């Protein structure tokens, strides 16, 4: 798929900002662009004419981008539509919900052509199948345990994994459920969130390494954590690799090659 094959919806209350974004999209080769000024207008548009990507500002008179994202994710017909946030908001607590909801990119406002190109390429990756070619595994037979307390995040991560050829994905809503599954089932890979209630990713990793009969399991930790001390502590617990949220297909592909082939 090429950028000129993509159909986008730009949701932005400012006429000027909308024009700027559309101009930059055209510079990336994207010409099929629709516009909306509000949450209601955007949802009505994408419900009637599904798009390959929604790019949205944060704040509107009738709500915020998270309201639009939730409405889209709760509509089975359009629930897997890639969503990109364009915002000048930097407060971590306000952006965390978007990261947990499976957005493909958080673009700063103003964003650079490189930022936009990366987000467009991520969209194309999500819409394409690009299976891993493994020397030691049949990728279709790799058993994955996916652990995340956010249903939206699990759906996004599972979609990325499926596109890479990992089709045997078992889901757990938190570390506690994951531990129960690990006691009765064998896996080849664990992909887990860090921040979860009750048993978080760090505690799950400690269980796998110290108490599980599958102590050798490779563990990919997915996190939006930015605290360097916390990240260092996670790594010392035996995590095989770490990956940021948003969960970008090409980055994940490189990590999985290293994890599964080494």
Residues 92-113 have pLDDT tens digits of 777 888 877 778 888 888 888 8
- Within 10 angstroms of residue 141's Cβ, the number of other Cβ atoms is 12
- Residue 228's pLDDT is 52
Measured distance CA(42)–CA(56) in Å, rounded: 9
More confident residue, 256 or 236: 256
Q: What is the pLDDT confidence band of residue 223, given thresholds at 50, 70 and 90? A: confident
In this predicted structure, the answer to whether residue 207 has a pLDDT above a threshold of 70 is: yes
Measured distance CA(10)–CA(8) in Å, rounded: 6
In this predicted structure, the answer to whether residue 226 has a pLDDT above a threshold of 70 is: no
- Residue 230's pLDDT is 52
Crossing angle of helices 113-127/15-27, nearest 10°? 70
Average pLDDT over residues 206-234: 79
Parallel, antiparallel, or unpaired: how do β-strands 63-64 and 59-60 relate? antiparallel
- Residue 99's pLDDT is 79
Domains of the chain: 3-127 (3.40.50.2300), 139-261 (3.40.50.2300)
Provide, rounded to the nearest whole percent, the portion of the chain with pLDDT above 70: 95
Measured distance CA(201)–CA(174) in Å, rounded: 8
- Residue 102's pLDDT is 75
b/e sequence 171-203, b meaning 16+ C-beta within 10 Å = bbbbbbbbbeebeeeebbbbbbbbbbeebbbbe
């Amino acid at each position: 798929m090429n950028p000129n094959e993509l159909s986008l919806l730009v949701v932005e209350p400012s006429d000027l900002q909308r024009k700027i974004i559309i101009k930059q999209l055209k510079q990336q080769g994207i010409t099929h662009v629709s516009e909306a000024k509000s949450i209601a207008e955007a949802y009505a548009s994408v419900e009637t004419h599904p798009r390959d990507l929604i790019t949205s500002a944060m704040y509107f008179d009738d709500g915020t981008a998270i309201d639009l994202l939730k409405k889209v994710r709760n509509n089975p017909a359009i629930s897997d539509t890639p969503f990109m946030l364009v915002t000048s908001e930097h407060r971590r607590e306000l952006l965390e919900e978007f990261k947990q909801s499976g957005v493909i990119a958080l673009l700063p406002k103003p964003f650079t052509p490189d930022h936009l190109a990366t987000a467009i390429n991520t969209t194309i990756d999500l819409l394409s199948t690009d299976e891993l070619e493994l020397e030691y595994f049949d990728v279709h037979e790799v058993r994955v345990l996916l652990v995340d307390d956010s249903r939206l995040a699990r759906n996004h991560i599972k979609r990325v994994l499926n596109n890479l050829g990992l089709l045997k994905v078992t889901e757990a809503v938190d570390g506690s459920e994951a531990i129960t599954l690990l006691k009765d089932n064998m896996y080849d890979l664990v992909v887990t969130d860090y921040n979860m209630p009750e048993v978080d990713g760090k505690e799950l990793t400690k269980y796998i390494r110290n108490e599980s009969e599958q102590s050798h399991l490779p563990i990919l930790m997915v996190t939006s954590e930015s605290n360097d001390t916390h990240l260092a502590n996670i790594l010392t617990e035996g995590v095989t690799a770490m990956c940021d949220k948003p969960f970008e297909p090409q980055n994940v592909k490189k990590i999985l090659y290293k994890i599964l082939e080494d």
